[in-house]
Structure 1
Amino acid sequence: MAGPSAAKTRRRQDKDRQHDVLYDCELADLPPELRWREWMLRVEAVIFASAEPVRRETLARVVGEDCSIDLLIDDLQEELRDRPYELVSVAGGWQHRTRVRFGDTILASTAPTRSAAAALSEFEAMVLMAVGYFQPVTRSDLSKIFGKEVSRDTVAELRGTGFIAAGPRSPTPGAPYTYVTTKLFLSAFGMETLRDLLNIEALEDAGLLNRNSASADEMPVVTNNSSDEDEGTSEDDVESAVL
């Protein structure tokens, strides 16, 4: 017998199919130029309204089957070329961002912004950077990196910002939790993937990171982070760490 969750899923699927029938994606009744313009406006509206980067598959729901999302984005970026904001590719999707050169202007205005980044202490920022480079990494590993204990409170603060989440359990004795960065981390720091992190050797040369103290050979960066349900983190929250 199907349970309540199965019935709910069927109702949602029926609703989605009904919406697809009623919502005209193809716009076949419009001439090509007007059709393209309407698709551009739809894509920009979805990105503007979203609180997080919008992925390709989401945008594909509001345009025709044969519509090129990449060409639409190119046209939108060109249209915004002289505006104080732009359309950027971050965290696997697209998002509107104010241009960097207007940062001081916005700060001087003291106007509240829609998505202000969390304020981190210098040490919290360094710990976040270490998680970015060495993930999945345990709190004990982080303590080795900095030569002093990284407290549970520090980790909790970073988790509270949404920049890190629980990763897979470590294979070391006791199976402690590891920590990984999230899609919000990529979005907040303007990165498409973790490949956009600065070269780790350059950070070592600048004295900002010391892999030797952390026994880096024992902490490889892996390609398939996973979440731990006991920690309340879904797979959608955790960024795949492909470097």
Structure 2
Amino acid sequence: MSEHADDKEESLFEAPPMAEQERMIEAILFATAEPVSVRDMQARMPHGSEPKEALVYLTKRYEGRGVHVVRVGDAYAIRTAPDLGFLMQKETVETRKLSRAAIETLAIIAYHQPCTRAEIEEIRGVSVSRGTIDQLIEMEWIRFGRRRMTPGRPVTFVVTENFLDHFGLENARDLPGLKELRAAGLLESRPAPMGADAGDEPEDAEQDDLFEDDDVIELP
């Protein structure tokens, strides 16, 4: 094979210029509603591309703009700048009603993940109804984690990337402090029933309804 043919074959596997790779990443993120992992970007781009490096340039280019490149867990997405979120309220606000029981359960999972149902009940001090867990799973804010290597091998629960994306978090470490949650009324202690000891569980603990008329919180 001639030297000219070797050069032509080698050029077929040459990675695009970094500016072009940056444009490719931009197109992928704009066209995809869900966050995209670096591995998925790599699979879509030409051989030899460096999506991680391209992301660095793209992130810098969007600094100070109306939209930002943000990291969500191990993936990336283009989202509205936090200070301009009010402009999107009419288009994006969706009211979700959750009982305080569901909010507390979600907060416990976020801060103590992976955790089992028994551990959630121990922290809350009351039983957790199956409906509460099912609703959070249906919303795709929590998912099943690995089973514990303990007797019975109970399942664990962890928060999802949808949860992180919804609240604008890169990972669970970015959650507000427990003191802030208590100040917001999300982790208040439940008063013990009249005549009950502090360690007793309320008789209606299993009636942990998701949509109690007198205990509903609205989330954007």
Alignment TM-score, normalising by the size of structure 2: 0.65
- Partner residue, 2:61: 79
> Which structure's CA Rg is the greater one?
2
Count of residues paired in the alignment:
176
Higher helix share: 1
- Partner residue, 2:194: none
SS of equivalent residue, structure 2 residue 105: helix
- Paired residue for 1:121, among 98, 105, 118? 98
Q: Give the deviation of 1:180 after TM superposition.
A: 1.8
Instruction: Indicate whether 1:58 and 2:36 are aligned.
Output: no
Q: Give the deviation of 1:205 after TM superposition.
A: 7.6
Task: Identify if the C-alpha distance between structure 1 residues 63 and 139 changes in structure 2 by more than 3 Å, giving closer, same or farther.
Answer: same
Task: Identify if the C-alpha distance between structure 1 residues 157 and 56 changes in structure 2 by more than 3 Å, giving closer, same or farther.
Answer: same
Residue ranges of structure 1 left out of the alignment (5+ in a row): 1-23, 29-34, 211-243
Task: Identify if the C-alpha distance between structure 1 residues 204 and 98 changes in structure 2 by more than 3 Å, giving closer, same or farther.
Answer: closer
Q: 1:195 & 1:25 partners in 2: Cα distance?
A: 40
Checking the alignment, whether the CA contact within 8 Å between 1:203 and 1:209 is kept in structure 2 is no
Q: Give the deviation of 1:153 after TM superposition.
A: 0.5
Q: Give the deviation of 1:38 after TM superposition.
A: 1.9
Alignment TM-score, normalising by the size of structure 1: 0.59
Q: Give the deviation of 1:203 after TM superposition.
A: 5.2
- Partner residue, 1:26: 14
- Partner residue, 1:221: none
Checking the alignment, whether the CA contact within 8 Å between 2:115 and 2:158 is kept in structure 1 is yes
- Partner residue, 2:171: 193
SS of equivalent residue, structure 1 residue 102: helix
Instruction: Indicate whether 1:183 and 2:161 are aligned.
Output: yes
- Partner residue, 1:164: 142
Instruction: Indicate whether 1:135 and 2:113 are aligned.
Output: yes
Task: Identify if the C-alpha distance between structure 1 residues 161 and 117 changes in structure 2 by more than 3 Å, giving closer, same or farther.
Answer: farther
Task: Identify if the C-alpha distance between structure 1 residues 175 and 36 changes in structure 2 by more than 3 Å, giving closer, same or farther.
Answer: closer
Q: 2:111 & 2:130 partners in 1: Cα distance?
A: 20
- Paired residue for 2:85, among 81, 87, 103? 103
Q: 1:59 & 1:96 partners in 2: Cα distance?
A: 14
Task: Identify if the C-alpha distance between structure 1 residues 118 and 129 changes in structure 2 by more than 3 Å, giving closer, same or farther.
Answer: farther
- Paired residue for 1:47, among 29, 32, 53? 29
Q: Give the deviation of 1:204 after TM superposition.
A: 8.1
Checking the alignment, whether the CA contact within 8 Å between 2:114 and 2:145 is kept in structure 1 is yes
Task: Identify if the C-alpha distance between structure 1 residues 204 and 79 changes in structure 2 by more than 3 Å, giving closer, same or farther.
Answer: closer
- 1:128-183 C-alpha deviation (Å, 9 max, x unpaired): 11011222222232222222222110110000011111223345554443222223
- 1:182-235 C-alpha deviation (Å, 9 max, x unpaired): 2322222233333333455x458858659xxxxxxxxxxxxxxxxxxxxxxxxx
